[in-house]
Amino acid sequence: MGFPVPEGFEFAGRKRNDVGVGLIVSEDRANVAGTFTENSLRAAPVEYCAEICDKGKARAVIVNSGHANAMTGEEGHRDVLRTAKGVADIVGCPDDEVLVCSTGVIGVRPPVDTILEEARDLASGLGRDPRDVEAFNEAIMTTDTRPKIEWYEGDGWSLLGVAKGAGMIHPNMATMLAFIVTDLDIPHRDLREPLRRAVDVSFNMISVDGDESTNDTVLLMANGASGLKPGRDVPLREFEKALEHVCVELAKDIAADGEGATKFVEVVVRGAFDEEEARRAARAVVSSNLVKTALFGEDPNWGRVGAAVGAARVEVDPGEMMIAFESEKGRVVTYDGGPVGFDEEEAARVLSADEVRVIVDLGVGEAEAKAWGCDLSYDYVKINAEYRT
């Protein structure tokens, strides 16, 4: 896989003995912004990263997989501080310029000594080759089955995103981690709002299983190595669209890799009163376990879709509402102002595709939103029944 790596950023990663460690280092201090899980029991690394992002500067990111360091008390917080100090000594920067992220089993503290030992080795092998980015991505995976790397290449600058996530995925920052870096020169104050907007239409619009993680984190770093500034050298809208594009594609990659999934699902809600109601309805449908299991069984049970929309408490006109299923194998309308007679076998054939679209028109306005997810299979239960053992 070939892709641009923004100037001034280097990557490394390794997974060994069920402990994965990934390292990102910027040659110069980067401006940083982040968004984090809304779970009330946020992991120690999340609390720490939020503080660093408030200050707005960072040189490095250290990530470990296998141990979430969530609900681990004061010891977990001390582990984060010790990890940050150790990496800062290795990289040669202040302790508060190291971002620390963890993913894995909740209630388990990370092996700090092992992580720092790996970090020392990784620091000597940091690089800008796509293979270095891929090694970082592989190191931070848990139940993921595929890499999640997306990018945008502009004129003299680039933006690169790397993510992990397959389970505990649900709107409101769904265990997922995403790291986005760019060599544009963007002040800290100008990173936060574009990131928030991009997350709202991407990571906050996916659901695999309806469970919000304690560790979800999205970090955006801009080190200015290209010497180009949005609004002066690059259209601000180009940067914002590039960021949204990378976030949406990463979100779709996560949804498609849902634990045990056999189908990637896109939900399109049209005709909503406003964008917020469109998003709420789309999230409700893509999050419904009854809809997910029906799609796994290739059963065009449109009533479950309608029930999910109604549970979202959005404005809808039943006499104007439309529900349809669509894939590369065709399209079938199942409700159009009322139940529509349709060929069950044809509908099942449409739903037999690997990628399925559920389309809902609420019939009350012009707003539209999309959400992404997957079906819910027998293997999802098996994977999570045996997650710790």
> Measuring CA to CA, which residue among 169, 167, 129 is closest to residue 149?
129
Sign of the Cα pseudo-torsion (148, 190, 44, 11, in order): positive
> Measuring CA to CA, which residue among 199, 197, 233 is closest to residue 216?
199
Angle at 83 between CA 112 and CA 217, to 5 degrees: 105
> Measuring CA to CA, which residue among 145, 166, 123, 117 is closest to residue 24?
123
Structure tokens at 288: 């419904």
Rg (CA), the chain: 21
**Half-sphere exposure for 140 (CA within 13 Å, toward CB):** 31
In whole angstroms, what is the distance from residue 353 CA to residue 357 CA? 10
Residues 6+ apart with CB under 8 A from 146: 253, 257
In whole angstroms, what is the distance from residue 328 CA to residue 357 CA? 9
Catalytic sites, residue numbers: 175
In whole angstroms, what is the distance from residue 371 CA to residue 360 CA? 12
330: enclosing H helix or E strand: strand 330-336
